[in-house]
Amino acid sequence: MSIQPGDRIPDAILQCIRDGVQKVDTASLFKGNKLVLFAVPGAFTPTCSERHLPGFVEHFGSFHDKGIGVACMAVNDPFVMQAWGESQHVPEGLQMLSDGNGEFTRKLGLEMDASAFGMGTRSKRFALYAEDGVVRQLFVEAPGEFRVSSAEHVLAELE
């Protein structure tokens, strides 16, 4: 069963690159914050690079104006996430988070088996909006789709 609106974000450790590899615990990441976390099956993959992340880059200011932080997550290592963020011109403040072993993704119940594509276990494509560590809205894509987790859709739902 996947996480649902009203559920608390589970505790896990993610990673990012800030003056070297830094651990990011989810309790601190979400505590006292309004945050949209969106996840992609893989950095540098076509839909993720051409539509998903670019939408959040484009609309980052709109989330910021609403007092909402934005974080991108993938089951990739933190160096890949950093390189992908740089290649996509991610603005400062949009966090690029690594769930390298998929621990957090599994705790959310949002993992998928991408072994048929040579990618192993990855995250489903989703976005969630949380306030102070509690999920308020969850947008999980059907396999092969990209609609409900887009920056535009999430922004419209937060109006």
Q: How is residue 144 annotated by DSSP?
A: T
pTM above 0.85, yes or no: yes
* Each residue's pLDDT expressed in tens, for the chain with a length of 159 residues: 899 999 999 999 999 999 999 999 999 999 999 999 999 999 999 999 999 999 999 999 999 999 999 999 999 999 999 999 999 999 999 999 999 999 999 999 999 988 888 888 999 999 999 999 999 999 999 998 999 999 999 999 998
Map out the domains of the chain with their CATH numbers.
13-157 (3.40.30.10)
pLDDT for the residue numbered 157:
97
Query: What is the 3 state secondary structure string of 12-40?
Result: CEEEEECCCEEEEEHHHHHCCCEEEEEEE
Amino acid at 96: M
Partner residues linked to 8 by β-bridges = 134
| Contact (Cβ atoms closer than 8 angstroms) between residue 130 and residue 35 | yes
pLDDT for the residue numbered 20:
93
How would you classify residue 67: left for phi > 0, otherwise alpha for psi between -120 and 50, otherwise beta?
A: left
**Which active-site residues does the annotation give?**
48
pLDDT for the residue numbered 119:
84
